[in-house]
Chain A
């Protein structure tokens, strides 16, 4: 295990940001801390980094007790949401910073920086200042800077939160590829479940200062531990008082075993998928079907259909 967090608690005044949080992060993995704003994810990340000290509990990094170590001695790289670029230094000097203060020989620094700038595709910006770069470029520089000192652990705090949707998507994929190349234990914080699902090997879902569930993206999607995890990680609707995925609702034109009658309120075509809003008894439910199904069944507004929850068709339980 690269990082072990044991029973960490942290409060800011009356507000309990973290309560009895315990997490284990495997070496070399790419883990996401996922959850709604204010849930404690950033606080946990900062506790691991040493930028905050926990009130209770401890942190172990690569087998060493790091709980009382200051940030500069923990060997963690940290990437901030708003880049924290050294605005008075060029891109090159930014990336070189960690090496310069370790008094490495100039030639070594120069080579290492060149390598890293190539890795993040910022070679031609080496002599520019951060203010002259776009947000995405600044974040890549911040990553290169953090990697320069070869940290044991790389921590990213909502790294793409301040960027446009398009740039975010690009950098997500890029982060995944980078991790495949560099293999350093990486933990990133996000409130975007799509991002977590797309990028991470394993996800830690957190809300209100507590860990809700830990698992792979598939685990969490198919076998959520509770209603919160289920609704956070994907679309949900309520049928018979139970949460169910809209694409797990089957529609029929005649009754079948276990079906309930429903009235179609509205049909919305969203590209390939179709959203069907239904009223089942007193409940308002929506189902997700393909265009094919829609045409086949001839579903229209006002018609009565029969719905039931689909039997689980999962390949193999993980």
Chain B
């Protein structure tokens, strides 16, 4: 499963795949490798290398400063909470979009992708407008941890929805009918038939939203106030360390986030296999 929302899961093996040979293909591969190295691979490697600038001890020190550990705890804690909420709400929303006969369903379906397309700073501004000091609804949660959670919920909204939705769409309704003919009531059908079949997709979406939440920056900048020890997420911490020329410190926390991202990618791969095995 690609991390890219809305993309199909990894396609089945193509009928014809040729080995690479020939000038054109070699140039193509060379170009692709060069491109990725220059822009992605080498820079990311530099981050990890820089974090080890002062050795493993230095790395550990930078990551365990009071500010750094506070920000990491907040980030991972909030992302975890957000992932759990998304698991629940995302599945409900997917259900609404697939199984409910609500008029105006199409409107909401189109809307779900908005957090993907919207610049994060605009998302932050939008949330601030509703839930900040000048809130027309009288709800002021600015500069609080709740604000961080709300911002993260906004940007991760589509993930579980878009992974569960196609699975729900393709679910063989006849399985549910077969269960009914065997005497199963609606609740039994949901818990014994539907849920087991959407579980891999739910898990994948949850992992995706966790990964996204952990790395989020722009949407938290305005509404959380970035108060150190209170509402400062890891990305903002890295940003501040950079501003203060503490490059090694920034790189250290960045490396932690990269490791988390790596773990998530592996988890997603495993989940994809689990889902595929079920047939």
Contacts and interface: CB of A to CB of B under 8 A. Distances in A.
Q: How large is the interface on A (under 10, 10 to 19, 20 to 34, 35 or more residues)?
A: 20 to 34
A87 B179 CA distance: 12
A97 B177 contact: no
B183 A102 contact: yes
A265 B255 CA distance: 87
A130 interface: yes
B182 A98 contact: yes
B30 interface: no
Interface string A91-113: 00000011001100000000000
A23 to B, nearest CB: 20
B182 A149 contact: yes
Contacts of A74: 181
A71 B177 contact: yes
B182 A146 contact: yes
Contact of A88 (B178, B183, B196): B196
B278 interface: yes
Contacts of A6: none
Interface stretch (A76-84, A158-166, A170-178, A208-216): A76-84
Contacts of A49: 181
Most chain A Cβ neighbours within 10 Å, of B175, B179, B182: B182
A145 interface: yes
B279 interface: yes
A65 B181 CA distance: 17
A51 interface: yes
A131 B177 CA distance: 19
Nearest to A80: B174
Interface stretch (B42-50, B88-96, B185-193): B185-193
A282 to B, nearest CB: 51
A76 B197 CA distance: 25
Interface of A: 49-51, 70-74, 76-78, 80, 82, 84-88, 97-98, 101-102, 129-131, 142, 145-146, 148-149
Given A49-B181, A87-B175, A146-B181, 14 more contacts: A51-B180, A51-B181, A72-B182, A72-B184, A72-B185, A73-B183, A77-B182, A80-B178, A84-B174, A87-B279, A88-B197, A97-B192, A129-B279, A149-B183
